Every structure is written in structure tokens, then in C-alpha cells.
């Protein structure tokens, strides 16, 4: 199959290899959409566990390096390791509640809080758990039908709206302190101009301007932000030129209190990965996700999470905002995304390079990505309707979304739960667990089965003495045909 694509230069072909100049802007918009999401988790974790400024920088650089490596593995794969799909993987927010829960937990042996070494050690075991899920997924895929995967993708999109609005308003907290400019008119103006440019290019632009709408919007927003003095180059001036990661820089320890929640979140996050891979296949490639792609993606993610632990990288996961970009542009060339991966690796090895990308103002990122998050939501709906909308499936989706977004709207409602349960209150995790369990527990009933039930009820109520049963039978036939 690959041979038929060897000479393709199409950006709409996974194996297509367009010219570098044509691919570069399309690659950059993938990087700029995810870079803040990749560096924020290590910044937060470093602050919570009390790392020094130098150690915090190392955590960020390794996160960028393994974001690039994990993406390359997913794009090009090695044997059965990697999805071989147009996806971006890297260190992201999916694990944050659990990481913070572990960091704030007390080690009963020492009476002190767990350190970064406990997080890395627990991550080793979590990575192994993810590998096992990937190996076994072919045998349990029937437990993840479109109603489960679609519900998860739908909630992923819905849960990201708050992130986009927070960025558009200027980010409520900067470097751990409240941002006094949060919600200012200036921030909203920059975000609105960025969004407007993205909309104009994507809807009214022709050819390349339409495909590169996000990067064009970011450039416009960056220019306006610079005019308002929102671009700070101090980080670039002070950043080192090069960085080479060393193994066991942060050490490893294996306390049970850290391992258990990490294993749970790694297994649950596999459902989000399945959702993102499914959304990429449906939204970007107009087809169903294949078993080998699902298995390879999970195995690849488990491997990079496992290996990354030894170098100080936090767990990796699929980036939903980049799934939205693929669904929006239909650009699926792995060469395009591969360039993005190479730039992430360079950012990890060259701190000055990553510092330049981190100068992008938050309102610009928010304005450029909010429409992308909307695309993720719509892809989730596309997945959902691939299953018939029976009462059973509607119940699964409705209850899962209601619980997930209800907790997201009122996070204080779960504040008094035990820490281990508290780490599982991320809306995506709630949706994944609820839809997964309901799909197993609720009896399998199709629209035709439900129509037959109504026929039986009608017969019992009428005593079989009128022609209402025949009318119901006609309705059954009509619903089955539809």
C-alpha cells in the first residue's frame, strides 16, 4: 500500500511529501497550537514539588524533547509500535490532577510529601500498564464502540473551551501568581483579532491561505500583541543555547501510594487516546479507526511514557487541539506533522529556540485555538451518530456528558473526596469511565428491539383486541428502514 504513495506530494495524503516551503507554515501552526499545553504541566509540577529554577527548565526541555519523539514514533512507527496516523503526541494536561495529587500526598515512610522521583517511578509502572492495554486492545475493542469513543471526544472538546477562554482573557495565573491584566479589554481585542483573521482565512481564503489560517491568525495576533507590549523577550535573552538530557536526572522511587493512582490514570487516559485516534480517522481521513492503529498508538504512547520517566519527562498523551486542526484542514501528510515533531525536538535541545516560541501571548493562542476545540466537539458528534441513536445509546451519552460537564462546572463539589478519587474527577476521565461502564452494564437494545418492546406493551394494554399491534408493527418496519 505504501508503494502507491511514494511519489505523492499531496498534503491530503498521509504518505504525501510536499515541498518544505509548502509544509513549513502548516507544521508551525501545529507547534504553536500545542506548545503552551506542553510546557505548562512541567511548570506547574515543578512549582508544586519545589524544584529549583534550573530543574524547572530541565523539566520543560525534556517535555518538549519527548513530545517530538513521541510524535515521530506515532507518525512513522517501528513495527507494531506507533499508530502511523497524523497525530501529535506530547506531555499534556491529561494527567495533571493525578500528578498534583501524588505531589501533595504524604509518604507514610518518611512523613514528607512525595518528590519528583516518586512521580517518575510511578510513571514507569503506569507506562507498563499502558503497554499492556495496547497489546490487549484488539481483544477488547468491542468495549469501545462509537457511543463510547464519541462521548469521550465530545467531552474532550467541551472541556477545552474553558482553556481557550482562559487564554483569550490573558491566563488567570502567570508564573503561579494571579494575573492583574486577566480579562482586560486589550487581551480580548488581541484574541478577537486573532480569531477574526483565522475565520476570514479559513472561510473566505483560497487555497493555501485557507489551510494556513491558524498560523496566519497567530502572526496577526502576535504583531498586535507586540504593538501593545505583550511580547516579553527576556526569557530568550537568558535561555541557554543547548541542553542534553541525562538519564535519571530526577531519580526514581516506587511508593505504592504514588503508583496506584498513576496506573489508574494511565489506563483511563488510554480511552482518551482511543477517542483522539478515532476522531482523527473520522474527522481527518473520513474512515473508521483500524485495530492495528489503535493498538500501535497505545503501545507507542506507553513506550514513550515509560522511557521518558528515566529522563525526567512527564507522561505523554494525544493532543486534542491538533486533532481539531487535522479535522479542520484535512491536511494529513505525515511529512507536515513530522516537521512539527523535529521542531519540538530542536526546542527540547535548544532552550533559546523554545524560549522564542514561548513569547507568544496567551490571548493569541486562545483566539487561534477556540475554533479548533469546536471542531473536536463536532467530530465527537460525528462519531456518536455512527451508532444508532437508540434510547440505550442516548442514555449512555447523555449521562456521561452531564456528569462530566457538571463536575467541570462545579469542581468544588468533589473537593472533599479522598485524594485518590479526586484525581479521577477530570471531565474526560468521568465521561470515559461512565460511558465505558454503562456500555457494559446496560442491556444491548437496538431501535428495532425497543420498537418490539413497545409493540408488546401495546398488545398487553389492548388485550390484543384491536389493530394497534399492526400499527406498531408498521412503525417497527419504518424505524428499521431508517
| pLDDT attached to residue 83 | 93
| pLDDT attached to residue 1 | 43
* One domain for residues 381 and 466: no
* One domain for residues 210 and 76: yes
Q: Which three cell numbers stand for residue 94?
A: 491529561
Instruction: For residues 258 and 235, give the distance between their C-alpha atoms in angstroms, rounded to a whole number.
Output: 34
Instruction: For residues 251 and 246, give the distance between their C-alpha atoms in angstroms, rounded to a whole number.
Output: 11
In this structure, the strands spanning 316-318 and 177-178 are: unpaired
Are the C-beta atoms of residues 211 and 22 closer than 8 Å to each other?
Answer: no
Determine the number of helices (DSSP H) and then strands (DSSP E) in the chain: 20, 4
Are the C-beta atoms of residues 169 and 366 closer than 8 Å to each other?
Answer: yes
Residue with cell 500528578: 99
**Nearest alpha-carbon partner for 426 in 402, 399, 401, 404:** 404
**388-394 contacts at long range (C-beta below 8 A, 24 or more positions apart):** 388/446, 388/447, 389/447, 390/445, 390/446, 390/447, 390/449, 390/450, 391/445, 391/450, 392/442, 392/443, 392/444, 392/445, 392/450, 393/147
**Which bin fits 228, alpha (ψ -120 to 50), beta or left (φ > 0)?**
alpha
What is the residue range of 417's domain? Answer: 2-445
Helix (H) / strand (E) element for 334: namely helix 334-349
| pLDDT attached to residue 2 | 45
Instruction: For residues 75 and 72, give the distance between their C-alpha atoms in angstroms, rounded to a whole number.
Output: 5
Are the C-beta atoms of residues 162 and 408 closer than 8 Å to each other?
Answer: yes
Are the C-beta atoms of residues 54 and 320 closer than 8 Å to each other?
Answer: no
Cα 339 from chain centroid (whole Å): 20
* One domain for residues 357 and 435: yes
* One domain for residues 58 and 102: yes
* One domain for residues 459 and 311: no
| pLDDT attached to residue 242 | 82
* One domain for residues 437 and 473: no
Q: For 79-127, give the DSSP string.
A: TTBS--SS--EEE-GGGHHHHHHHHHSB-TTTSSB--HHHHHHHHHHHH
Give burial (CB, 10 Å; 0-12/13-18/19+) of 249: middle
Instruction: For residues 318 and 296, give the distance between their C-alpha atoms in angstroms, rounded to a whole number.
Output: 13
Are the C-beta atoms of residues 220 and 194 closer than 8 Å to each other?
Answer: yes
Are the C-beta atoms of residues 461 and 435 closer than 8 Å to each other?
Answer: no
| pLDDT attached to residue 251 | 87
The DSSP output letter for 81 is B
* One domain for residues 419 and 467: no
Angle between helices 362-384 and 146-168 (to 10 degrees): 160
Provide the β-strand partners of residue 173.
Answer: 178
Instruction: For residues 414 and 408, give the distance between their C-alpha atoms in angstroms, rounded to a whole number.
Output: 10
Structural domain count of the chain:
2
Give burial (CB, 10 Å; 0-12/13-18/19+) of 410: exposed
| pLDDT attached to residue 415 | 73
* One domain for residues 473 and 404: no
Residues 6+ apart with CB under 8 A from 78: none
* One domain for residues 107 and 252: yes
Residues 6+ apart with CB under 8 A from 131: 298, 299, 302, 303, 306
Q: Where are the alpha helices (DSSP H) in 230-255?
A: 234-238
* One domain for residues 195 and 47: yes
State the average pLDDT for the chain. 83
Instruction: For residues 351 and 394, give the distance between their C-alpha atoms in angstroms, rounded to a whole number.
Output: 49
* One domain for residues 188 and 261: yes
Provide the β-strand partners of residue 178.
Answer: 173
Q: Mean pLDDT of successive 10-residue segments in the chain (482 residues)?
A: 62 91 88 78 75 78 93 94 94 75 72 84 94 90 84 83 86 77 91 92 79 83 91 78 84 86 83 86 88 94 95 90 84 94 90 76 86 80 83 92 88 73 71 90 84 84 59 52 52
* One domain for residues 203 and 276: yes
Amino acid at each position: 500500500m505504501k508503494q502507491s504513495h511514494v511519489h505523492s506530494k499531496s498534503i491530503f495524503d498521509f504518505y504525501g511529501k510536499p515541498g518544505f516551503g509548502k509544509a513549513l507554515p502548516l507544521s508551525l501552526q501545529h507547534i504553536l497550537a500545542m506548545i503552551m499545553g506542553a510546557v505548562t504541566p512541567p511548570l506547574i509540577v515543578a512549582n508544586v514539588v519545589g524544584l529549583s529554577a534550573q530543574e524547572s527548565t530541565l523539566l520543560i526541555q525534556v517535555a518538549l524533547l519527548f513530545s517530538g519523539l513521541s510524535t515521530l514514533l506515532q507518525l512513522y512507527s517501528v513495527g507494531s509500535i506507533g499508530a502511523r496516523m497524523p497525530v501529535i503526541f506530547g506531555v499534556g494536561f491529561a494527567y495533571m490532577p493525578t500528578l498534583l495529587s501524588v505531589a501533595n500526598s504524604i509518604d507514610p515512610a518518611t512523613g514528607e510529601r512525595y518528590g519528583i522521583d516518586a512521580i517518575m517511578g510511578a510513571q514507569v509502572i503506569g507506562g507498563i500498564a499502558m503497554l499492556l492495554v495496547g497489546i490487549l486492545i484488539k481483544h477488547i475493542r468491542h468495549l469501545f464502540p462509537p457511543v463510547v469513543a464519541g462521548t469521550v471526544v465530545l467531552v474532550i472538546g467541551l472541556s477545552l473551551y474553558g482553556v481557550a477562554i482562559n487564554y483569550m482573557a490573558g491566563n488567570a495565573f502567570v508564573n503561579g501568581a494571579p494575573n492583574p491584566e486577566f480579562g482586560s479589554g486589550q487581551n480580548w481585542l488581541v484574541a478577537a483579532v486573532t480569531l477574526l483573521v483565522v475565520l476570514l482565512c479559513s472561510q473566505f481564503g483560497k487555497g493555501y491561505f485557507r489551510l494556513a489560517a491558524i498560523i496566519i491568525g497567530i502572526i496577526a495576533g502576535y504583531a498586535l500583541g507586540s504593538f501593545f507590549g505583550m511580547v516579553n523577550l527576556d526569557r530568550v535573552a537568558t535561555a541557554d543555547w543547548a541542553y542534553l538530557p541525562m538519564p535519571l536526572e530526577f531519580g526514581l522511587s516506587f511508593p505504592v501510594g504514588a503508583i496506584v493512582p498513576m496506573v489508574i490514570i494511565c489506563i483511563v487516559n488510554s480511552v482518551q487516546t482511543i477517542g483522539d485516534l478515532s476522531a482523527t480517522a473520522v474527522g481527518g481521513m473520513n474512515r473508521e479507526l483500524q485495530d492495528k492503529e489503535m493498538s500501535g498508538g497505545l503501545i507507542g504512547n506507553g513506550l514513550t511514557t515509560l522511557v521518558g520517566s528515566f529522563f525526567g519527562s512527564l507522561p505523554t498523551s494525544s493532543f486534542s487541539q491538533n486533532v481539531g486542526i487535522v479535522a479542520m484542514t484535512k491536511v494529513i501528510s505525515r511529512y507536515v506533522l513530522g516537521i512539527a515533531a523535529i521542531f519540538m525536538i530542536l526546542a527540547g535541545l535548544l532552550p533559546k529556540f523554545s524560549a522564542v516560541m514561548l513569547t507568544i501571548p496567551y490571548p493569541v493562542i486562545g483566539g487561534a485555538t477556540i475554533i479548533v476545540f469546536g471542531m473536536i466537539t463536532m467530530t465527537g458528534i460525528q462519531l456518536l451518530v455512527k451508532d444508532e441513536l437508540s434510547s440505550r445509546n442516548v442514555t449512555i451519552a447523555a449521562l456521561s456528558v452531564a456528569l462530566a460537564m457538571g463536575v467541570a462546572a462545579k469542581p468544588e463539589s468533589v473537593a472533599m473526596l479522598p485524594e485518590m478519587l479526586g484525581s479521577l474527577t477530570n471531565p474526560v476521565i468521568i465521561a470515559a469511565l461512565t460511558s465505558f461502564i454503562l456500555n457494559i452494564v446496560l442491556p444491548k437494545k437496538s431501535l428495532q428491539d425497543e420498537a418490539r418492546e413497545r409493540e408488546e406493551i401495546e398488545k398487553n394494554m389492548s388485550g390484543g383486541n384491536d389493530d394497534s399491534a399492526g400499527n406498531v408493527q408498521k412503525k417497527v418496519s419504518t424505524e428499521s428502514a431508517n
